[in-house]
A = this chain, B = another copy of it.
Amino acid sequence: MTCANRPTILTGDRTTGPLHLGHYIGSLRARVQLQHEARQFLLLADTQALTDNVGRHRKVTENVIEVALDYLAVGIDPEKSTILIQSQVPELAELSQYLLNLVTVARLERNPTIKEEIRLRGFERDIPAGFLTYPVSQAADITAFRATHVPVGDDQLPMIEQTNELVRRFNAAVGQPVLVECEAVLSHVPRLPGIDGRAKMSKSLGNAITLGASADEIASAVNAMYTDPNHLRVNDPGQVEGNVVFAFLDAFEPDTQRVDELKAHYRRGGLGDSVVKRMLNERLQSLIEPIRARRHELAADRGAVVDILRRGTMRAREVAAQTLLDVKGALGLSYF
């Protein structure tokens, strides 16, 4: 792959809490790989997190550094990836403002991702305007960095569609190809369940193992994991589907043959939960231990982390500022 057609990736996280193993499997691991192949922008999305966290802004801003620590601890290299804080790139708000004119309220209300998020948050008719319009901010984030590829879950596909619709509308309105369309990169990794068996691992649901978890926290999380409630005696046949321990082994145990054997043994009976859990615990301890150590080390020099974020944000601003200059130029908004 030559430099010229090197893809540009935009991805990131809302800064509402430290990251967990679900993030590790779902995105972080891939990002560490991708930073060698692509130009990668990692967005610490504090502004977006604020759209549904009015009054909880301290939580949002305090977690910016936590998420940054997670990025660095898992192996994101700030020389290879650009880590930026969304609120510190004012060009994103400006671009967003121009894109807002290109989409109708009705279209935003039909966005399936937004519909679902509105349902989840119980907003009903009381949707904050900033929340309804966040797909537009997201489009601004993507287009500001001229991202060609955006890693998403399939529930996020409508956001990419919305972005490309805005790109086409903008380019048509100004009669020149100023903004770049992007492509969704779908993850094929199944979503990691919470330790309680719920579909989504989430810090706020209390069913997550964070990347900074202590050895004890990991051990007790594994111990508390939901397995097969009908697998009462060791010799009973057990169920692997919906069994969180096996979902985790699928995700974290590289020796897939070993996992297959364990599954077969569990199914026919004779394999106790405690044995499988012990194995998973070892796996997770050895995965998290170096991450935790690195995280601890980084956290001790907060100033250095802030400095990394400052440099990344400045680098990102240069790119976004150029896009905005093009956008404003195309609209005739360059008077001086």
Q: How far is the CB of A190 from chain B (nearest CB, A)?
A: 33
Any chain B CB within 8 A of the CB of A6? Answer: no
Among A100-142, those with CB < 8 Å from B are: 100-106, 108, 125-133, 136-137
Any chain B CB within 8 A of the CB of A98? Answer: yes
Which residue in B100, B101, B103, B128 is a CB contact (below 8 Å) of A104?
A: B128
Any chain B CB within 8 A of the CB of A88? Answer: yes
B128 touches A101 (CB 8 A): yes
What is the CA–CA distance of A266 and B267 in the complex, to the nearest angstrom?
Answer: 104
Contact A173/B55 with A62-B332, A133-B100 known, Cβ cut-off 8 Å? yes
What is the CA–CA distance of A137 and B57 in the complex, to the nearest angstrom?
Answer: 21
Among A64-95, those with CB < 8 Å from B are: 64-65, 85, 87-88, 90-91, 93-94
Which residue in B47, B98, B105, B328 is a CB contact (below 8 Å) of A97?
A: B47
Any chain B CB within 8 A of the CB of A333? Answer: yes
Among A173-212, those with CB < 8 Å from B are: 173-174
Any chain B CB within 8 A of the CB of A331? Answer: yes
Any chain B CB within 8 A of the CB of A284? Answer: no
B64 touches A335 (CB 8 A): yes
What is the CA–CA distance of A65 and B334 in the complex, to the nearest angstrom?
Answer: 12
Chain A contact-residue range equals 35 or more
A309 touches B332 (CB 8 A): no
A51 touches B105 (CB 8 A): no
Most buried by B among A90, A127, A174, A309: A90
Q: How far is the CB of A324 from chain B (nearest CB, A)?
A: 9
Chain B residues, CB < 8 A from A275: none
A253-280: CB near B (< 8 Å → 1, else 0) gives: 0000000000000000000000000000
Q: A52-B101, A104-B128, A306-B336 are in contact. List 13 more A-B contacts (CB 8 A).
A: A57-B331, A57-B332, A64-B335, A87-B333, A88-B333, A97-B97, A100-B130, A100-B133, A101-B129, A103-B129, A106-B125, A309-B335, A310-B336
Residues on A lying within 8 angstroms of B by beta carbon are 46-47, 50-52, 54-55, 57-58, 60-62, 64-65, 85, 87-88, 90-91, 93-94, 96-98, 100-106, 108, 125-133, 136-137, 169, 173-174, 306, 309-310, 313, 328, 331-333, 335-336
Sampled A-B contacts (7; CB under 8 Å): A54-B102, A58-B332, A60-B332, A88-B333, A101-B128, A105-B127, A313-B336
